[in-house]
Amino acid sequence: MPQLAQRVGRAKPSAIMVIAEKAKQLKAAGRDIISFSIGVPNFLPGEHVYAAARESLSHDSGQYGSNRGAEVLLDAFLKHIEALGFSGYTRTNLSIGIGAKHVLYNLAEALLDEGDEICFAAPYWTTYRDIADIVGAKVNVMHCGPEQNYKLTPTQLDAALARKPRVFLFNNPSNPTGMVYTAGEIAALADVLVKHPDTWVITDDIYNSMVFDGIGYHNFVFARPELRDRVIFVDSVSKTYGMPGWRVGLIAGPEVVAKAVTTLNSNHITSLPEVITAAAVAAFSGPQEVPRARCAEFAGKRDIVVAALGAIPGVACPRPQGAFYAFPDISVAFGKSHHGTKINNDVEFCAALLEAKGVACVPGSAFGEPRAMRISYTCPTAQLQPGLARIAEFFAELN
């Protein structure tokens, strides 16, 4: 029979979704499961977003939309990024996609030929490697362990860029670690980027409005404006506005890149639906009380998580300052057993934790750091401390 294309063999199911599905199955079977696995914000957008969607449906045109994105959405996004600190951008610098994941895939298709190199830091979001594999790119991973707070150093970046990769992919705030780069750290990395003019820079910064402790969001373009001709900023309504299911991603970058993404859109998605566009415009342009309140809530939950993990002997967890993740180093458990079940690595740890205590976390190896696991703390507040207590109990029972 006919064979599938080779690229399909390079595509892998999301490791995060595998864990989430396992937890869902156990819960359906009657188990008491607390899930710290999937990275969804677990809140809904403000009523004005739904009102805008309903209003859009009442006068739907039924027509195709713009491959680049409706002008009203582009204008709303321009105001959004201006508030972040991006200036001088116009509609021609923008394009859209069906979520940030789709935008990143489009960028890979637009910027990477088969055999080209892409570099990014580990821990990394699982999809980075998956997309690179699908398009046939070579991956150079810069390992950034807990001993350096999971952050990339200028020396590491300089060494990676000396290899002349086609793309450097950067994530701030970080999924899976929740770490956020300071203005000084961003400036130091930007100084390195200026020295290597042949590499595109993608900043996947969809958690830019979920930053704690007054640290602020910073971008390479703010530190070195001359990088604007090479930097592509990726954003989304999913995390900030509690809208992951609405699937709206956007970019701001050089006109040539925005045009390329728009051309790709014309050959697969065509456009965003009118009702989705209306909801996204309302999210960007309307009241911001919901995302602000949720950001404050997540900062409080972060404090609870860090305190609980810090009380477990041998567990190290750099303090996250954004997003809604913690990424503790659990390697102290390796080589031990839990009621006869040997734990040799992060995958076995998370499997045993789920089976014994009903707590679902994602193994760190899915993110390129096998010493750790990811905790997404967006669960209902009533579940947070009980879930953390179960993790502490699990550690205490190791021998």
- Write the CATH number for 216: 3.40.640.10
In a domain, 380, yes or no: yes
Same domain, yes or no, for 10 and 103? no
Tokens of 87: 């200036």
Total structural domains within the chain:
2
Q: What is the pLDDT of residue 353?
A: 96
In a domain, 1, yes or no: no
Residue 3 DSSP code: P
Q: What is the pLDDT of residue 39?
A: 84
Q: Report which of residues 16 and 211 the model is more confident about.
A: 211
CA angle 128, 133, 137 (to 5 degrees): 95
In a domain, 129, yes or no: yes
Q: What is the pLDDT of residue 100?
A: 97
Query: What is the distance between the terminal CA atoms of the chain, rounded to a whole angstrom?
Result: 53
- Average pLDDT value for residue range 215-230: 98
Q: What is the pLDDT of residue 19?
A: 80
371 Cβ contact partners less than 8 Å away, ≥ 6 residues apart: 145, 146, 329, 330, 331, 346, 364
Same domain, yes or no, for 85 and 205? yes
Same domain, yes or no, for 165 and 127? yes
Q: What is the pLDDT of residue 163?
A: 98
Q: What is the pLDDT of residue 23?
A: 86
Last residue of a domain, one of 270, 285, 300: 285
The CATH number assigned to the domain holding 330 equals 3.90.1150.10
Distance CA 331, CA 315 (A): 8
Distance CA 122, CA 179 (A): 12
pTM value is 0.96
- Average pLDDT value for residue range 91-95: 98
Distance CA 198, CA 60 (A): 45
Enclosing domain of residue 269: 48-285
pLDDT digits (tens, 9 = 90+) for 36-77: 998 899 999 999 999 999 999 999 999 999 999 999 999 999
Tokens of 95: 């394009």
Q: What is the pLDDT of residue 10?
A: 86
> Is pLDDT at 22 greater than 90 in this prediction?
no
Last residue of a domain, one of 230, 256, 285: 285
Same domain, yes or no, for 147 and 181? yes
- Average pLDDT value for residue range 252-272: 97
Last residue of a domain, one of 234, 268, 285: 285
> Is pLDDT at 322 greater than 90 in this prediction?
yes
Q: What is the pLDDT of residue 20?
A: 80
- Average pLDDT value for residue range 255-265: 98
Same domain, yes or no, for 294 and 281? no
> Is pLDDT at 231 greater than 80 in this prediction?
yes
Closest CA to 237 of 210, 199, 267: 210
Same domain, yes or no, for 308 and 243? no
In a domain, 381, yes or no: yes
pLDDT digits (tens, 9 = 90+) for 342-380: 999 999 999 999 999 999 999 999 999 999 999 999 999
Same domain, yes or no, for 35 and 53? no
Q: What is the pLDDT of residue 17?
A: 78
pLDDT band (50, 70, 90) for residue 329: very high
Same domain, yes or no, for 237 and 271? yes
pLDDT band (50, 70, 90) for residue 151: very high
Same domain, yes or no, for 253 and 368? no
Q: What is the pLDDT of residue 116?
A: 98
Same domain, yes or no, for 300 and 190? no
> Is pLDDT at 234 greater than 90 in this prediction?
yes
Same domain, yes or no, for 295 and 251? no
Averaged pLDDT score across all residues of the chain: 96
pLDDT band (50, 70, 90) for residue 105: very high
Same domain, yes or no, for 21 and 61? no
